[in-house]
A and B are shown apart, each in its own frame.
Chain A
Amino acid sequence: MCLGIPGKVVRWIDRDETFAQAEIEFDGVRRICHMACVIEANEGDYVIVHAGIGISRIDAAEAQRVFEELAALGDDEGWQGADW
């Protein structure tokens, strides 16, 4: 079961540990999601939501890694656009 979608924490409703809830924004819509497993997330952070509960806080620095790697690959000729 893998449909996990990143959403932005816009408002904490209840940071009580067992049934913590926050309002999470997914592009144009918001939904109240359970946050017991991502209690460390702050407003403005992104969390991955699965079946109505947050399962991880997105690490913004790690999220950049693939793009850094892409930049490091550079634009050296010989392969770029080879098959396109």
Chain B
Amino acid sequence: MKYLDEYRDPAAARKLLAEIRRCANRPWTLMEVCGGQTHGLLRHGIEAELQGTVELIHGPGCPVCVTPLEAIDFAQQLAMRDDTILASFGDMLRVPGSRDSLLQTKAKGGRVKIVYSPLDAVELAKRNPDSQVVFFAVGFETTAPATAIAVQKAKCDHVDNFSLLVAHVRVQPAMEALACSPGDGVQAFLAAGHVCTVMGYASYEPFVKQFRLPVVVTGFEPLDLLDGILACVRQLEAGEARIENQYARSVRREGNVAAQELVNSVYEICDRRWRGFGEIELGGLQLRKNFHEFDALKRFKDVSQLPIVESSECRSADILSGRIKPPECPAFSHACTPESPLGAPMVSSEGACAAYYRYRNLQNNSPSGSPQKRG
């Protein structure tokens, strides 16, 4: 496939890998923000190849993992109502809430429908006029334009039985929180290519100045990841801290203005609790007043919210914030496996724990997979 295959070319990847090794005169520690990047790094063996040269700390970039428990619990309660269909991306189905996952809710008779696009949920609502269709709007800034179009479409076509359960989160406040946390050994960031596709990277310019950390906007294919790492290493070796754009085929400095306007017309910024992080100031999006009629939280006021229950053993908070690597968690691969996950990073296809579990066998052989303390 064009724009995929050429970025997976083995010979080119080796060349970049060699160049990274050549440039790095000492080991460097980078954080890749997005879980898609984490998977790419592990899946293609890049992390193992770079051991001793570049250490990669896995960032908070899995929106499924940080979706607050109360939102998942509420979604499950909605799905159990006789008159309601909960539409969701497939990613959310295995994520444990306080009690169940949506997949278990479905097994207990809840009506849960997987959709590929939020707009498909609007069509689902049109086809099921006797049911309430609630779309579980999770995701970063990348996904907000799609859910924004969906709610606009519902408003335009008077699809009154459609609503959104909004759990959107914003990446940059979380990155700032991470950069502020003292003792965090991160020396540079690979910023999330698709979040920046929508939001641009101008907003990182003050961030780079404030924290004096290089930020390289990076894509997801092996060549993108290696190219982004190389750019970080070059800056670090030269003692620079700039914002660079590795993923320029998709990302412009100002981002996608049409998408931002679309999001702004439907959503406003709010504080949000992130699972594993706690409350993040300005860390979420909520529907604007003129779309309140499509807000599931308002429409289903009668659904009482149950108290949330978090696993005590799971250290996903430390993992999501890059403080420890998954194998350092006492529950990892013992009490917590993809079959019976305690925390979201083990269940999400993008989660750092799932990635480690999946690729751990070979990783165990190498120092990069063994517990490493940072402080």
Q: Are A and B genuine complex partners?
A: yes
Closest chain A residue to B259 by CB distance? A37
CB A56 to nearest CB in B, in angstroms, measures 5
A26, B14: Cβ atoms closer than 8 Å: no
CB B174 to nearest CB in A, in angstroms, measures 14
CB B60 to nearest CB in A, in angstroms, measures 13
Given A2-B142, A4-B142, A73-B19; A48-B197 close (CB under 8 Å): yes
Partner of B197, one of A4, A60, A79: A4
CB A53 to nearest CB in B, in angstroms, measures 5
Closest chain B residue to A59 by CB distance? B249
Closest chain A residue to B228 by CB distance? A66
CB B152 to nearest CB in A, in angstroms, measures 7
B4, A6: Cβ atoms closer than 8 Å: yes
| B6 proximal to A (CB < 8 A) | yes
Interface string of B73-101 (1 = CB under 8 A from A): 00000000000000001010000000000
Report the bound CA distance from A46 to B1 in whole Å: 11
- Chain B residues whose CB sits within 8 angstroms of the CB of A66 once the complex forms: 7, 12, 223-224, 227, 246
Closest chain A residue to B246 by CB distance? A66
- Chain A residues whose CB sits within 8 angstroms of the CB of B250 once the complex forms: 4, 48, 55-56, 58-59
Given A50-B143, A63-B3; A55-B198 close (CB under 8 Å): yes
In this complex, how many residues of chain A approach chain B with their Cβ under 8 Å: the count is 41
A52, B146: Cβ atoms closer than 8 Å: yes
- Chain B residues whose CB sits within 8 angstroms of the CB of A1 once the complex forms: 63-64, 89, 91, 138-140, 142-143, 194
Given A37-B262, A55-B259; A80-B220 close (CB under 8 Å): no
CB B213 to nearest CB in A, in angstroms, measures 21
Given A2-B220, A36-B258, A56-B250; A50-B18 close (CB under 8 Å): no
- Chain A residues whose CB sits within 8 angstroms of the CB of B198 once the complex forms: 55
| B236 proximal to A (CB < 8 A) | no
Within 8 A of B (CB), among A16-43: 18-19, 26-27, 34, 36-39
- Chain B residues whose CB sits within 8 angstroms of the CB of A46 once the complex forms: 2-3
Report the bound CA distance from A82 to B19 in whole Å: 11
| B72 proximal to A (CB < 8 A) | no
When A and B form their complex, what is the total count of cross-chain residue pairs whose Cβ atoms lie within 8 Å? Answer: 139
B35, A58: Cβ atoms closer than 8 Å: no
Interface string of A53-72 (1 = CB under 8 A from B): 10110111011011101100
Given A1-B138, A2-B34, A48-B197; A55-B145 close (CB under 8 Å): yes
Partner of B143, one of A51, A58, A59, A73: A51
- Chain A residues whose CB sits within 8 angstroms of the CB of B223 once the complex forms: 66
| B153 proximal to A (CB < 8 A) | yes
Report the bound CA distance from A59 to B350 in whole Å: 27
| B256 proximal to A (CB < 8 A) | yes
A80, B15: Cβ atoms closer than 8 Å: yes
Partner of B192, one of A2, A19, A36, A79: A2
A62, B248: Cβ atoms closer than 8 Å: yes
Partner of B146, one of A6, A50, A79: A50
B142, A50: Cβ atoms closer than 8 Å: yes
| B193 proximal to A (CB < 8 A) | yes
Report the bound CA distance from A59 to B245 in whole Å: 13
| B120 proximal to A (CB < 8 A) | yes
Report the bound CA distance from A54 to B122 in whole Å: 18
Report the bound CA distance from A52 to B121 in whole Å: 11
Report the bound CA distance from A83 to B50 in whole Å: 12
A34, B3: Cβ atoms closer than 8 Å: no
A-B contact sample (7 more), CB < 8 A, given A1-B140, A3-B36 = A1-B194, A2-B34, A18-B152, A59-B249, A63-B3, A66-B246, A79-B21
6 residue pairs A–B, Cβ–Cβ below 8 Å: A1-B63, A1-B89, A5-B4, A26-B1, A52-B117, A66-B246
- Which residues does A use to contact B, with CB under 8 Å? 1-6, 8, 18-19, 26-27, 34, 36-39, 46, 48, 50-53, 55-56, 58-60, 62-63, 65-67, 69-70, 73, 79-84
